Amino acid sequence: MLTGSTTTENRQPVSAVQRIERGLLEEIGAGELAPGQRLDEAGLASRFGASRTPVREALSRLTAQGVLVQGEKRGVFVAEYSREQLSQMFEAMHEIEAACARIVAQRLDFLSRSEIEAAQADCVKAAEAGDRTAYLRANEAFHQAIYKATGNPYMAEIASEFRQRTGPFRAKKFASREDLLSSAQSHQALLDSIFSKDAAAASKSMRDHMAVSFLETLKAN
């Protein structure tokens, strides 16, 4: 019989699983874990300060989402995609990201705008410092802030999933400080269109932004 109560002992493993899952998603989305890279249970357990049980469950969840794949031999790996699969993912991303930008332009409030501007400031700071790792994380936070600003958690979840899957591939296009600066600068044009509250312009600007990102990603992979 199920009840509404949960013991502390039962909550802890779930918390550990979520922490590991989110941590790995952040690393994959920021390109810190490369396509085809093997994930070692023992190493992850040590790094996240957990037992192998929650690590195994987190890996199982990410495998079910398609972010990770089970190898022919024992082991779990970051998913790899063909150019055709990557093209199809970006095609879907174009539509979802453009829809997010359109909705944000219509619904943007002061708090959401502040969060997006703060994320962009972090992007600029990391780009100027030439800090690739910091930029990749700031760039993900920037897009996540836009998704959140839609006020639609379902759209945000779908958009996030595509970014997580394509993260290791997109990360390869940032090979120099100039690449980081160019990306940060392109954000500003996108924000100008979103903040103008012109939904059509915001949608087009995001499509243009994603089209450039796609071409750069294909060249780098």
pLDDT tens for each residue of 91-106:
999 999 999 999 999 9
**What average pLDDT does the segment 5-14 reach?**
41
Residue-wise pLDDT for 163-211, tens only, equals 888 888 888 899 899 999 999 999 999 999 999 999 999 999 999 999 9
pLDDT at 14: 52
- Annotated domain spans of the chain: 9-78, 83-220
Q: Count Cβ atoms below 10 Å from residue 167 Cβ, excluding itself.
A: 24
Average pLDDT over the chain reads 88
The CATH-assigned architecture of domain 83-220 is Up-down Bundle (1.20)
**DSSP E strand stretches across the chain:** 38-39, 68-70, 76-78
Residue-wise pLDDT for 42-54, tens only, equals 999 999 999 999 9
Q: How far is CA 181 from CA 171, 186, 192, 201, in A?
A: 14, 9, 17, 23
Q: Which fold has domain 9-78?
A: Arc Repressor Mutant, subunit A (1.10.10)
Task: Say how far apart CA 191 and CA 209 lie, in whole Å.
Answer: 11
Cβ contact 64:36 at 8 Å: no
The pTM of the full predicted model, rounded to 2 decimals, is: 0.80
User: Above 50 in pLDDT, residue 1?
Assistant: no
Strand-pairing partners, residue 76, are 39, 70
pLDDT at 2: 39
pLDDT at 154: 96
Cβ contact 36:76 at 8 Å: no
Closest CA to 138 of 124, 148, 123: 123
